[in-house]
Amino acid sequence: MEFDDRRIVALTELERKIVNALQIHPRASWTLIGEALGIDPDTAARAWAGLTASGRAWMSAHPGLGGPGSPLIAFIEVNCRAGSADAVAQELVPKPRVLTIEHTSGGRDLLLTVLVVDLVALSRLLRDELGATDGVIGTRVHIVTTARTDGADWRLRALDAATARRLAADRPALEIRPERADHRDHDLVTELLRDGRAGFTDLAVRTGMSVSTARRRAHRLLASGAVVLRCEVAQPLSGWPVSGSIWCRVPPARLDAVLAGMAGVPEVRVCAAITGGPTNMFASLWLRSAGDLQRLEAQLSERVPDLETVDRAVALVHIKRMGRVLDDDGRAVRLVPVSVS
């Protein structure tokens, strides 16, 4: 998708509320959203259609993480030969296991988020795909062991507390132990990853299932956390236009407590325990300005004296985020469906 008008249009107050509502309850009916926001359901649906058509907001999905049999996620720092970072990034864009690509400051050219079946698959990706990409001269890998917070938890904060609670109360509760989708669910998972708000009739048609089977299996996949939905927004329109990343060292005995505390920091998009390198915690942040990275580091140091920030980076541009290819204004232009196979 290419946009004729290069100007990125700011979100209206209504659009911000609809995005926030779908962050809380990604598959909420337009009737529920209309009632919660005090508008006609058709008005809400038209507003969302306009947001997605313009690439300013969209629904992403990814396989669930952290449960038995769940795939493995890793952050990979990539160093490129001078002048080749863009060519390397474009070579990686169509790869379904490369979820996110950032061009960053600091001691790496690109920062990738990848999703693979296991460590062997990660090794193959590093050797056969990244290693074979012209322009790549080095990589550093950080394997996620626990992801306490991810982008699905981040909120635009455009709704009052009562409205947010009403939407959250209607969202089906997650089961305690996520399960991995089996082979019978493959087509359904694929369609949910393409369009997390697809209706059950549409899912049935696309997968060849009956409507009742599609409904039952989709409910199970979503309720178990085997598939996670998240409503995304073009970052320049979010009010937090700058992305930052920090790599930290925390005493192992304090790591769980620090992860839990980081989950309550509004700027935190992702907070994860990592292993395989000199640090054991990674956080991805959305900030008001680049200078806020230093301010937030100072606040975290005061709040958690044992936390040592070893490295940091500012994203110069997001090229791909959770399977969506983005333009320079952060708008979604096309989808590369997420896959771990």
How far are the Cα atoms of 24, 93, 167, 168, 225 from residue 161, in angstroms, in the given order?
A: 12, 38, 10, 10, 25
Q: Which two tokens stand for residue 142?
A: 């950080």
| Burial degree of 93 (CB within 10 A; 0-12, 13-18, 19+) | middle
Q: Phi and psi (nearest 5°) for 232?
A: -105, 160
Strand partners, 57: 233
Nearest residue to 58 via CA among 167, 221, 197: 197
Which pairing describes strands 227-233 and 110-116: parallel, antiparallel, or unpaired?
A: unpaired
pLDDT above 70 for 275: yes
Instruction: For residue 2, name the pLDDT band (cuts at 50, 70, 90).
Output: low
Q: Over the stretch 138-162, which tens digit does the pLDDT of each residue have? A: 999 999 999 888 888 999 999 999 9
Span 296-306, average pLDDT:
89
Half-sphere exposure of 83 (CA within 13 A, CB side): 0
Residue 177 is predicted with a pLDDT of 54
Gap between the Cα atoms of 321 and 233, Å rounded: 11
pLDDT above 70 for 299: yes
The string of DSSP codes covering 158-219 is -S-HHHHHHHHHHSPPPPSS-----GGGHHHHHHHHH-TT--HHHHHHHHT--HHHHHHHHH
Q: Helix (H, G, I), strand (E, B), or coil: what is residue 245?
A: strand
Cβ contacts of residue 134 below 8 Å, gap of 6+? 84, 87, 88, 91
Gap between the Cα atoms of 188 and 215, Å rounded: 10
Residue found under tokens 């991810």: 150
Residue 64 is predicted with a pLDDT of 80
Instruction: Tell me the whole-structure pTM to 2 decimals.
Output: 0.93
337 or 319: which carries more pLDDT confidence? Answer: 319
Q: Over the stretch 23-64, which tens digit does the pLDDT of each residue have? A: 999 999 999 999 999 999 999 999 999 999 999 999 998 888
Q: Helix (H, G, I), strand (E, B), or coil: what is residue 322?
A: coil
Residue found under tokens 């309550």: 264
